[in-house]
Amino acid sequence: MTGRWHDYLDGQVANRPDAAAVSDSIGTEWTYGALDAACCDVGAALSAAGVQRGDRVVILIENCAAAVAALFACSRMGAIAVPVNARQSASELDRILDHANPAAVLFTVAASKDAEGHAARLGAREITGAFGSLHMLARDSAPDDLPDVAVLLYTTGTTGAPKGVMITHGNLRFGGESSARQRAMRADDLVYGVLPVTHVFGLTAMITGVTVAGAHLFLEARFSAARLYEALTGKVTLFSGVPQMHALLMQYAREQGVEKLTGSRLRYVSSGAAPLDPAWKRKAEAFYGLPLQNGYGATETTSGTSLTNNALGDPDISVGPILPGTEVKIDETVPGGGDGVGEVLARGPHIMKGYYRNPEATAAALDADGWLRTGDLGRFDAEQRLHIVGRSKELIIHGGFNVYPPEVEAALNDHPQVIQSAVIGRRVGGDEQVLAFVQAAPGELPDESELRAFVADRLTGYKRPRHIVIATDLPSAPTGKILKHKLLEAFGDRLPQT
């Protein structure tokens, strides 16, 4: 697609400067004209610090209006924005700084104590303007000749060097337009944004989609079930979250004596980043009184590849048909493949340019015909709706049988006391054990023997967990996605060694 990412903002500024654009949980309220002024001041500060076209600018963020201004300011001046969640540890941030080698680092200190701590550690100075207050650190760097790249997004990894996904202006424009169209966004919408804008969904579906539609985005720095409930009983019309957010919201509502959301303007609600199961979906739809839409995407696909558009009560738990303008095929030759199941390969204008300064990883992920190997296992049903059955690297082979973790998680999540669960494999001898980690509310912890009996009616023998750990919290990313690679580290002392 032609054009630049910030063109959507420029259009809203020209046509609707007094319309509400972005507000946040620290009290900022900006029209599109005010957002424009904030972008201009951020750009001026970066230029004064020596930032040039092609330079990388790391923006250490927790959700706030100033972050939006900084992201668009980079686009306008031809710099490459590198949004990073401020809750990264010092060592994690330093690895990203070493790899991206930015010419400047911005810190959203007004919205984040963690950003404030990083700014103090690195010796950043305060800058002020129409954007409010930010801290900035100038660094020695050299620009890249990557004129089509708008953003670098560093993906959550287990260990080793960070991996920066190069997202182009065309990627963002296609993804933003698709998000606005699929959700039927309107200029009078108020979108609740608690998913981090450092994540591809927040960047594409929230910031870009909202700007395409000329809607109003409210940014919440950190998830709170109480604040979400207050927002949904107010003026919010669209909300997208992850299963954990929906589950904690419903739990909070029950504690207030509320079984169903009433008096709400909400007209669209969706879930992502984890598979749905039928019983949990029914509970969520009964609470919202709306269909719970589900979709599939990844950082490398600029968020969206497929999305449902189901009616209330539809039992469909797929991630929907493939979005217009994109392609998907299934490679059954991979481990865990066969009988219609295989690795999901995607192609289209939403696919990343590649991995920054990592041609080997780029070549492994993208073939000469533009097909991206997603690493996810999926299948199509008779209606050509895509179903994600798991990650190829998370496939568990127990007793010679394939065990797909989402199927086991769905069985556990059916239990009324389970908020969410995560299933992984652990190699013992020549086999893999199925391990389950279950999150429940304090004071409502189910008994392990009860859970075992519950899933025994839902899973054949080889799929049943060897060990079940029950906790009140599971390690998760800022998006709410469970970090499976940290489960053994967090709960290893509660697991028998055999």
Encode pLDDT of 249-263 as tens digits.
Answer: 999 999 999 999 999
Confidence of residue 373 (pLDDT cuts 50, 70, 90): very high
What kind of fold does domain 395-494 have according to CATH?
Answer: GMP Synthetase; Chain A, domain 3 (3.30.300)
* CATH node for 223-392: 3.40.50.12780
CATH class of the domain comprising 7-170: alpha beta
* Digit-coded pLDDT (tens) for 84-100: 999 888 988 999 999 99
pLDDT for 460 equals 84
Write out the two tokens for 413: 């999540």
pLDDT over threshold 50, residue 157: no
> Is the dihedral angle over the CA atoms 9, 10, 15, 20 positive or is it negative?
positive
pLDDT for 159: 41
The pLDDT of residue 230: 96
Q: Output the pLDDT for position 161.
A: 66
- pLDDT, tens digit, for every residue of 421-459? 999 998 887 678 999 999 998 888 898 999 999 999 888
Q: Mean pLDDT throughout 26-44?
A: 98
**Mean predicted confidence (pLDDT) in 389-417:** 83
57 or 394, higher pLDDT: 57
State the pLDDT at residue 158.
41
Please give the share of the chain, as a percent, with pLDDT higher than 90.
75
Answer yes or no: same fold for 7-170 and 395-494: no
Binned at pLDDT 50, 70 and 90, residue 470 comes out as: very high
Average per-residue pLDDT for the chain = 92
Query: What is the model's pLDDT at position 427?
Result: 82
Give residue for tokens 């065990």.
403
Query: What is the per-residue pLDDT for 160?
Result: 52
Q: What average pLDDT does this structure show over 36-60?
A: 98
**Range 253-261, long-range pairs (CB < 8 A, 24+ positions):** 253/229, 253/287, 256/229, 259/286, 259/287, 260/286, 260/287, 260/289, 261/232, 261/233, 261/287, 261/288, 261/289
Q: pLDDT tens for residues 196-227? A: 999 999 999 999 999 999 999 999 999 999 99
Point out which residues pair with 260 in neighbouring strands.
none
Q: 245 pLDDT band (50/70/90 cuts)?
A: confident
Task: Parse the chain into domains and list their residue ranges.
Answer: 7-170, 223-392, 395-494
> What CA–CA distance (Å, rounded) separates 474 from 491?
9
Which pairing describes strands 125-129 and 132-138: parallel, antiparallel, or unpaired? antiparallel
Question: For 311-363, what is each residue's pLDDT tens digit?
Answer: 999 999 999 999 999 999 999 998 878 999 999 999 999 999 999 999 999 99
- Among 105-109, 323-327, 475-479, the minimum mean pLDDT is found in 475-479
CA distance 127 to 498: 56
Residue bearing the bigger pLDDT, 441 or 80:
80
Q: Angle at Cα 301 formed by Cα 298 and Cα 307, nearest 5°?
A: 75
The overall pTM is greater than 0.75 = yes
Decide which of 400 and 189 is more confident: 189
The average pLDDT across 467-492 equals: 88
Which carries the bigger pLDDT value, residue 23 or residue 303?
23
Query: For the chain, what is the HEC assignment?
Result: CCCCCCHHHHHHHHHCCCCEEEEECCCCEEEHHHHHHHHHHHHHHHHHCCCCCCCEEEEEECCCHHHHHHHHHHHHHCCEEEEEECCCCHHHHHHHHHHHCCCEEEECHHHCHHHHHHHHHHCCEEEEECCEEEEEEECCCCCCCCCCEEEEEECCCCCCCCCEEEEEHHHHHHHHHHHHHHCCCCCCCEEEECCCCCCHHHHHHHHHHHHHHCCEEEECCCCCHHHHHHHHCCCCCEEEECHHHHHHHHHHHHHCCCCCCCCCCCCEEEECCCCCCHHHHHHHHHHHCCCEEEEECCHHHCCCCEECCCCCCCCCCCCCCECCCCEEEEECCCCCCECCEEEEEEECCCCCCEECCCHHHHHHHECCCCCEEEEEEEEECCCCCEEEEEEHHHCEEECCEEECHHHHHHHHHCCCCEEEEEEEEEEECCEEEEEEEEEECCCCCCCHHHHHHHHHCCCCHHHCCCEEEEECCCCECCCCCECHHHHHHHHHHHCCCC
